[in-house]
């Protein structure tokens, strides 16, 4: 719905590629000014900005590693300084590392938890502190995963982080409701993005996965962006503490033999 987010400012983390790039472009097309956060791909962030401008929207790029407390504080401070407010936060940045549970290293555990859970926690805290001080409402949207609920063997760190996001959203919905701030999760299934490069290159594995998806295809980043746009809109004003699954039916798939 073009224009329905005009006057709003949205930060989208990790928006130099994949789902984040699509959400940034969609929120901008809907009227928001978007802060395109990136960690180490300025060229991807510039591409997002180009896509936003081609859609008639506005965006600025800011470098911030969400796993750094200094960086997340600076990200929110700069958004307020440059754009005058910050109304919507999309915690999208995320990574995954595969290993048998007994082989997971402390380094890999820290890498995944620091981006996917600690990053979300402290960026959200910085975002909320500004809103609270300004007495303004806000929207928080976390890109979690079907794996906030569904087992994913050999990705125990990823599941621990996304499961953490599930309870973080529920608890913060209660704590932030009186401030007029909502928080919801989007839980995508298999989406066509660079995070799935290995899977996309492995045809037998990909075909086995597709057989488990009732809609018979992987999701597109734009499918996820459409829910983010809804959750950022006035139509979603009374929704908080929920998870929106978008997986082509993957998690409810069941067949009698
Ligand atoms: P992606 O790899 O294209 O996007 C992840 C983005 O996060 C990248 O732009 C990366 O640079 C950024 N990032 C990583 N660490 C960062 C950090 N420390 N600071 C700032 N940015 C950082 O993959 P994607 O599929 O678009 O992933 C986006 C989100 O969606 C992730 O949270 C992921 O877990 C989630 N997700 C993806 C799928 C899927 O199938 N693609 C399914 C469920 C959930």
Active-site residue (options: 109, 158, 238, 254): 158
Q: How far is the CA of 252 from the centre of ligand 1 (A)?
A: 24
Asked if the structure places residue 203 within a domain, the reply is no
Asked if the structure places residue 38 within a domain, the reply is yes
> Can you tell me the distance from the alpha carbon of 209 to that of 251, in angstroms, rounded to the nearest whole number?
12
Enumerate the H helices of 42-148 as residue ranges.
42-54, 69-83, 106-113, 119-134
CA-to-CA separations, 146 to 107, 182, 197, 239, in angstroms, rounded: 24, 21, 18, 19
Q: How far is the CA of 134 from the centre of ligand 1 (A)?
A: 30
Range of the structural domain that residue 27 is part of: 9-193+220-249
Q: How far is the CA of 14 from the centre of ligand 1 (A)?
A: 6
Asked if the structure places residue 204 within a domain, the reply is no
Rg (CA), the chain: 18
Report the chain's mean pLDDT, rounded to a whole number.
97
> Can you tell me the distance from the alpha carbon of 196 to that of 94, in angstroms, rounded to the nearest whole number?
12
**With a 6 A CB cut-off, is 188 part of the ligand 1 pocket?**
yes
CATH of residue 111's domain is 3.40.50.720
Q: What pLDDT, in 10s, does the model give residues 124-152?
A: 999 999 999 999 999 999 999 999 999 99
pLDDT at 67: 98
Q: What pLDDT, in 10s, does the model give residues 81-99?
A: 999 999 999 999 999 999 9
Residue 255 predicted with pLDDT over 90 = no
pLDDT at 172: 99
pLDDT at 257: 72
| pLDDT bracket for residue 10 (50, 70, 90) | very high
Q: What pLDDT, in 10s, does the model give residues 23-34?
A: 999 999 999 999
**With a 6 A CB cut-off, is 97 part of the ligand 1 pocket?**
no
**With a 6 A CB cut-off, is 145 part of the ligand 1 pocket?**
yes
> Can you tell me the distance from the alpha carbon of 252 to that of 121, in angstroms, rounded to the nearest whole number?
29
Asked if the structure places residue 205 within a domain, the reply is no
Q: How far is the CA of 195 from the centre of ligand 1 (A)?
A: 7
Q: What pLDDT, in 10s, does the model give residues 196-217?
A: 999 999 999 999 999 999 999 9
**How many separate domains does the chain show?**
1
Residue 1 predicted with pLDDT over 80 = no
Q: What pLDDT, in 10s, does the model give residues 48-85?
A: 999 999 999 999 999 999 999 999 999 999 999 999 99
Residue 42 predicted with pLDDT over 70 = yes
**With a 6 A CB cut-off, is 143 part of the ligand 1 pocket?**
yes
Find how far residue 198's CA is from the centre of its chain. Answer: 21
Asked if the structure places residue 37 within a domain, the reply is yes
Asked if the structure places residue 215 within a domain, the reply is no
The answer for residues whose C-beta is within 8 angstroms of residue 148's C-beta and 6 or more apart is 162, 163, 165, 166, 185, 187, 243
Number of the ligand 1 atom closest to the C-alpha atom of 188: 43
**With a 6 A CB cut-off, is 39 part of the ligand 1 pocket?**
yes
Enumerate the H helices of 65-212 as residue ranges.
69-83, 106-113, 119-134, 156-176, 197-201, 203-211
Give the pair of three-digit tokens for residue 42. 């300025």
> Can you tell me the distance from the alpha carbon of 206 to that of 202, in angstroms, rounded to the nearest whole number?
6
**Nearest-CA residue for atom 23 of ligand 1:** 195
Structural contact between residues 19 and 92, judged by C-beta atoms closer than 8 angstroms = yes
Asked if the structure places residue 93 within a domain, the reply is yes
Average pLDDT on 166-173 reads 98
Average pLDDT on 247-255 reads 95
> Can you tell me the distance from the alpha carbon of 161 to that of 165, in angstroms, rounded to the nearest whole number?
6
Average pLDDT on 113-133 reads 98
**Residue 158 known to be catalytic:** yes
DSSP label at residue 138? E
Q: How far is the CA of 92 from the centre of ligand 1 (A)?
A: 6
Helix or strand run (H / E) with residue 36: strand 33-38
Asked if the structure places residue 83 within a domain, the reply is yes
**With a 6 A CB cut-off, is 88 part of the ligand 1 pocket?**
no
pLDDT exceeding 90 applies to what percent of the chain?
Answer: 97
């Amino acid at each position: 719905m073009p224009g329905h987010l005009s006057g709003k400012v949205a930060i989208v983390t990790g928006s130099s590629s994949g789902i984040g790039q699509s959400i940034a472009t969609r929120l901008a097309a809907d009227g928001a000014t978007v802060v395109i956060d990136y960690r180490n791909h300025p060229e991807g962030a510039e591409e997002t900005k180009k896509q936003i401008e081609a859609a008639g929207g506005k965006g600025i790029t800011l470098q911030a590693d969400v796993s750094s407390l200094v960086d997340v504080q600076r990200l929110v401070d700069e958004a307020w300084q440059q754009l005058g407010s910050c109304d919507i936060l999309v915690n999208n940045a995320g990574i995954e590392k595969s290993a048998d549970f007994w082989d997971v290293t402390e380094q890999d555990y820290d890498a995944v938890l620091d981006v996917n859970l600690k990053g979300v926690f402290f960026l959200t805290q910085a975002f909320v502190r500004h809103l609270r001080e300004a007495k303004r409402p806000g929207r928080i949207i976390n890109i979690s995963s079907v794996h906030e609920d569904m087992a994913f063997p050999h990705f125990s760190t990823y599941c621990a982080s996304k499961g953490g996001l599930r309870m973080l959203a529920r608890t913060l919905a209660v704590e932030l409701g009186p401030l007029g701030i909502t928080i919801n999760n989007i839980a995508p299934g298999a989406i066509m993005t660079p995070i799935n490069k290995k899977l996309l290159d492995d045809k037998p594995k990909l075909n086995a996965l597709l057989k488990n998806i009732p809609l018979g295809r992987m999701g597109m980043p734009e499918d996820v962006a459409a829910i983010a746009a809804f959750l950022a809109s006035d139509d979603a004003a009374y929704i908080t503490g929920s998870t929106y699954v978008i997986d082509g039916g993957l998690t409810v798939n069941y067949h009698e033999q």
